[in-house]
Structure 1
């Protein structure tokens, strides 16, 4: 199945370069290019692509707001591309509904891989971004907001959500829990479905903001309700 992509960046050479890389793949088709966030939102609305690449800093409507509008109005997955890796942009992008966050110096193969991964419904962050996201969440004291959706999780699913929040890959989770990769995928899928989440990034945010993972670096799981 062909992955339909919109590429949005206000720098024409960057935009056309990404489009050329992706269009060269047998399973990817770039259906539109956009030079600002408003044009990206319009292109997604008109063409209904599977994935949109959004630069953070664009005129008219910036990438964060464009991502927010796209996530609210479609099932299109957004991958944020930027030269900046500050925590501020990471958090804003993830809360806006982004499924991926990559720096613009990403390698050709990694860019293509990101599009394919996000299209499958998974989430992807540059390793440096993922590490700092987890570190920042555990460093900052915060008042948890209890999430009643967590009551629907089994003890094993809560454990799965915990290790997902630590930034572990499926293979690492499988080793930590002593199960197969297939079992991990099943547990993660159940967690996302029960919590009504789009991807693993939203699961990380949910785990920290609900207090399932304690602030300050304590990897504690709140006890499941009795019964």
Structure 2
């Protein structure tokens, strides 16, 4: 494993409402040398704001889809209202739409990494942030580059909202067959939270908020053959 030795920004505020993802992030932070007392967990935007008022937060790891709003609201709060312009803020999210990525970066996010990445990749991203760097998930950096140069390197015949990855298409077909997230995770031999991340991405791309709607849209688009 790569060298984890780097300056630790304390305390860390983790804005994440999924308990399983909280546990995962906590373990990754422990690997860097953080202690339990160094980590503040918030499951909502309002709680995150309260913690940032009570503690001198030096690093924020932020999800976007939250029960009471969007993590971008919290990033704006840190940067504009608390004037914390220098602390690193890394988005760890299942959302990979270009619009959402631009909004997060424009609000002041230092980095953006997808939850579907394995632990080593997230740790690499975290180390880059802690050592003063900025990191963008490789799968979305290409989209950003294409946006800036105004050229689509690999045009997709499908509209953006239906451009599902092979894994997302596979999971969508299993959803259509009636399998639950747990059953899909067992069949594909991947963690349930990974399945849930893919399902969130599917919802985002198909612009739906339920399995039934996702199946209907996919059928209309010819994705379920």
Query: What's the TM-score, normalizing by structure 2?
Result: 0.57
Match for residue 64 of structure 1?
A: 72
How far apart are residue 99 of structure 1 and its match?
0.3
Match for residue 111 of structure 1?
A: 122
Match for residue 46 of structure 1?
A: 54
**Inter-partner Cα distance in structure 2 for 1:2 and 1:28:** 11
Match for residue 150 of structure 2?
A: 139
How far apart are residue 28 of structure 1 and its match?
6.9
How far apart are residue 61 of structure 1 and its match?
3.4
How far apart are residue 124 of structure 1 and its match?
0.6
Comparing 101-110 and 69-78, the one that deviates more: 69-78
How far apart are residue 27 of structure 1 and its match?
5.5
- Whether the 8 Å contact between 1:51 and 1:118 is mirrored in structure 2 is no
The CA deviation string for residues 178-216 of structure 1, in whole angstroms up to 9 with x for no partner, is xxxxxxxxxxxxxxxxxxxxxxxxxxxxxxxxxxxxxxx
Gap regions ≥5 residues in structure 2: 1-6, 152-225
Match for residue 113 of structure 2?
A: 102
Q: What RMSD over aligned residues (CA atoms) do the two structures have, in Å?
A: 2.0
Match for residue 130 of structure 1?
A: 141
Matched residue SS, 1:3? coil
Match of 1:3 among 9, 28, 49: 9
- Whether the 8 Å contact between 1:83 and 1:105 is mirrored in structure 2 is yes
Match of 2:131 among 87, 97, 120: 120
Q: What count of residue pairs does the alignment treat as equivalent? A: 140
The CA deviation string for residues 133-177 of structure 1, in whole angstroms up to 9 with x for no partner, is 11112228xxxxxxxxxxxxxxxxxxxxxxxxxxxxxxxxxxxxx
- Whether the 8 Å contact between 1:10 and 1:35 is mirrored in structure 2 is yes
Matched residue SS, 1:42? helix
Comparing 103-112 and 113-122, the one that deviates more: 113-122
Match of 2:24 among 13, 17, 25: 17
**Inter-partner Cα distance in structure 2 for 1:139 and 1:109:** 32
Question: Within 5 Å, which residues of 2 pair with 1:63-212?
Answer: 63-72=71-80, 73=82, 74=84, 75-139=86-150
- Whether the 8 Å contact between 2:112 and 2:136 is mirrored in structure 1 is yes
Match for residue 220 of structure 1?
A: none
Matched residue SS, 1:121? coil
Comparing 27-36 and 88-97, the one that deviates more: 27-36
- Whether the 8 Å contact between 2:8 and 2:130 is mirrored in structure 1 is no
Gap regions ≥5 residues in structure 1: 141-227
